[in-house]
Amino acid sequence: MTHDQLTYLVFGIVLVVALVFDLGLLSKKSQKVTIRQALYQTMFWVGLALAFFIFLWIENGQKPALEYISAYLMEWSLSIDNIFVFILIFSAFSVKEKHYGRVLLIGILMAIVFRVIFITVGVALVEKFHWILYAFGAFLVFTGYKMFTASDDEEFKPQESKIYRFMKRFLPLVPHDGDGKFMVRENGKPAYTTLFVVIIMLAAIDLVFALDSIPAVMGIVDTKTIGYEETARLVIYTSNIFAVLGLRSLFFLLRGAVSKFDYLQQGIAIVLVFIGIKMLAEHWINQWIDKQTQVFISLGVILVCISGSIFYSIFMQKKGEPADISDESQH
């Protein structure tokens, strides 16, 4: 058994055990999740991801381990940005809080399946057509620029989205949650509830976000070195899955605070532009900087930009908000 095969086996076992533990002990059906529970669950998933990082370092070496943690942090920071959209979706369809956990779980598991398919196709295309990495690089630079300059007024409206309009056109929908059911019978015919709609939208929205994140991860991981392809796939799969699985607990932990991270979007945008430029200039960068050092630089840029934007959001006044608004609220 090769190092990569052993790592896949360990990852699979850990994943199954962790899901059983999370669902069986940390989660209960149709129950509100408290901040304390969300904190424990977030610590559980982050701790598991970090433990896998250590295992990967021991089993596969320093380079794939650093690529993994860089890709994981990239995905994790983008997940924080996803949470705001998830909140808008729950609010738009008036989902009861007791259903949040179950809806998020199913939506996220569907998102993982879609991501695995997306990654498999993406990696296969990159291995066959190396020039696609340059297209990804240009796309990331463009996306980063658009994200950095986006207006606060450009808010996602779930009921005006193409995904919802498509479902409304081709599926029989009812404007209620069916008391926790995904499908009910109306006038003798099956119809889909708002919970079903929300699950599909969560999975679809995550896939849209993956159009940014997966090319970014491919820019972090070495996908070109001959003989390293299997390890590169391993790093991309595991970092993505660990980050997405932690999204549910992160949602409950940060849903009240995510709107305070006003500058996180700009921090993520800078990272996307950096990775895009790195992909476009890879030929020249490789002549001056070895692959190992490139991974360290990428990890440093991600840590500085994401943590810097979060701290800047916390300690600076909210964009467009008068400096004395917090004082007025206390009187």
Predicted confidence (pLDDT) at residue 330 exceeds the cutoff of 70: no
Its pTM stands at 0.81
| All structural domains of the chain with their residue ranges | 3-317
The predicted-structure confidence for 299-318, as pLDDT tens digits, reads as follows 899 889 988 988 888 777 55
pLDDT-based confidence at 28, cuts 50/70/90? Answer: low
pLDDT digits (tens, 9 = 90+) for 251-301: 888 776 666 777 888 888 999 899 999 889 888 888 888 877 888 888 899
Residues 71-113 have pLDDT tens digits of: 999 888 887 777 878 888 888 888 888 888 888 888 888 888 8
Q: Does residue 127 register a pLDDT over 60?
A: yes
Residue 51 has pLDDT above 90, yes or no: yes
Q: Mean pLDDT, to the nearest integer, of 123-147?
A: 86
pLDDT tens for 52-76 read 999 999 998 899 999 999 999 988 8
Position 331 scores a pLDDT of 44
Q: What is the mean pLDDT of the chain?
A: 82
pLDDT at 152: 59
Backbone angles phi, psi at 186, to 5 degrees: -120, 120
CA–CA gap between residue 59 and residue 251 (Å, rounded): 32
Q: How confident is the model at residue 48 (pLDDT cuts 50, 70, 90)?
A: very high
pLDDT at 154: 60
User: Does the pLDDT value for residue 20 go beyond 90?
Assistant: no
Map the chain to HEC letters: CCHHHHHHHHHHHHHHHHHHHHHHHHCCCCCCCCHHHHHHHHHHHHHHHHHHHHHHHHHHCHHHHHHHHHHHHHHHHHHHHHHHHHHHHHHHCCCCHHHHHHHHHHHHHHHHHHHHHHHHHHHHHHHHCCCHHHHHHHHHHHHHHHHHHCCCCCCCCHHHCHHHHHHHHHCCECCCCHHHCCEEEECCEEEECHHHHHHHHHHHHHHHHHHHHHHHHHHHCCCCCCCCHHHHHHHHHHHHHHHHHCHHHHHHHHCCCHHHCCCHHHHHHHHHHHHHHHHHCHHHHHHHCCHHHHHHHHHHHHHHHHHHHHHHHHHCCCCCCCCCHHHHHCC
* 196 or 260, which is more confident: 196
* pLDDT for res 326: 41
| pLDDT for residue 84 | 78
